[in-house]
Amino acid sequence: MTQPAETLAKQLALVIDLNVCVGCHACVTSCKQWNTSGSAGPLADLNAYGAEPNGTFFNRVQTWEAGEYPQADTIHFPKSCLHCEDPPCVPVCPTGASYKRKEDGIVLVDYDRCIGCKYCAWACPYGARELDESRQVMTKCTLCVDRIYDEKLAPEDRKPACVKACPTNARLFGDVKDPDSEVSKAIRERGGYSLMPEWGTQPANQYLPRLVREAQEF
């Protein structure tokens, strides 16, 4: 049942630099506004003005604490679909609505085909998929496929909304299979790593670790 993943020549992805992410959530709401009025939308919000408001977001920023006072670190941790190279969410989909594009490795959902069975979400170890409660279809980060290839946009705008928004430039975007790309270099030079490597999903998105610079001696 688990065949080895097909190796694609191109794999677009995000690389998130935890060394500079300040947890501002710009990537969260810029993603929401871009996608809600685009091909992936509308993205519903439940109890928008009531108790426990919650809605469909493709990207969330979490906060964690590492260590103990006073050596405590605060870590802001953005997470969206990692566009796994061996995505367990795809083969389980009974309708083929969930698919991984051969041309660039983006994992997408075809909303017209999705029956809302949620099985793909069960099969994603990262919790990266969210069912839109209003449309009852599965949604997830599209890597802004409808920006990056839209020739009506200026070339410099053909980037994911979250990448353009991020004030600290903590979100790098590019082809991780191209050794000369910004993302590949960052992964190489900054020790990029995968989340939950234990499941062999080979996430295309990688994270760059915190660095600590000590005081210089003179």
Near other proteins by CB under 8 A, which window of 4-12, 173-181, 208-216? 208-216
- Minimal distance, residue 36 CB to ligand SF4, in Å: 11
Please give the single-letter amino acid code of residue 180: D
Residue 141: name its binding partner from other proteins, ligand SF4, none (Cβ under 5 to 8 Å by kind): ligand SF4
- Contact status: 21 vs other proteins (CB under 8 A): yes
Binding mask 23-42 for ligand SF4 (x = CB under 6 A): xxxxx---x--xx-------
- Contact status: 114 vs ligand SF4 (CB under 6 A): yes
- Contact status: 213 vs other proteins (CB under 8 A): yes
- Contacts with other proteins by CB under 8 A: the residue count is 124
What's the Cα-to-Cα distance from 10 to each of 82, 129, 142, 144, 178, rounded to whole Å? 15, 23, 16, 16, 7
- Contact status: 56 vs ligand SF4 (CB under 6 A): no
Q: Which residues, numbered 145-184, are part of the site for ligand SF4 (CB under 6 A)?
A: 160-162, 165-166, 168, 170-171
- Contact status: 189 vs other proteins (CB under 8 A): no
Residue 70: name its binding partner from ligand SF4, other proteins, none (Cβ under 5 to 8 Å by kind): other proteins
- Contact status: 198 vs other proteins (CB under 8 A): yes
Please give the single-letter amino acid code of residue 200: G
- Taking the C-alpha atoms of residue 116 and residue 83, their distance in angstroms, rounded to an integer, is 20
- Taking the C-alpha atoms of residue 182 and residue 185, their distance in angstroms, rounded to an integer, is 5
- Contact status: 2 vs other proteins (CB under 8 A): yes
Residue matched to tokens 């996430």: 203
- Taking the C-alpha atoms of residue 160 and residue 34, their distance in angstroms, rounded to an integer, is 9
CA quadruple 75, 80, 83, 200: dihedral, nearest 10: 50
Contact 139, 129 (CB under 8 A): yes
Residue-wise over 118-127: b if at least 16 C-beta within 10 A, else e?
Answer: eebbebbbbe
Which residue lies nearer to other proteins by CB, 7 or 62?
62
SS3 143: coil
Summarize as ranges the residues that interact with ligand SF4 (CB under 6 A): 21-27, 31, 34-35, 58-59, 61, 76, 78, 80-84, 87-89, 93, 95, 97-98, 107, 109, 114-120, 124, 126, 128-129, 138, 140-144, 160-162, 165-166, 168, 170-171, 201
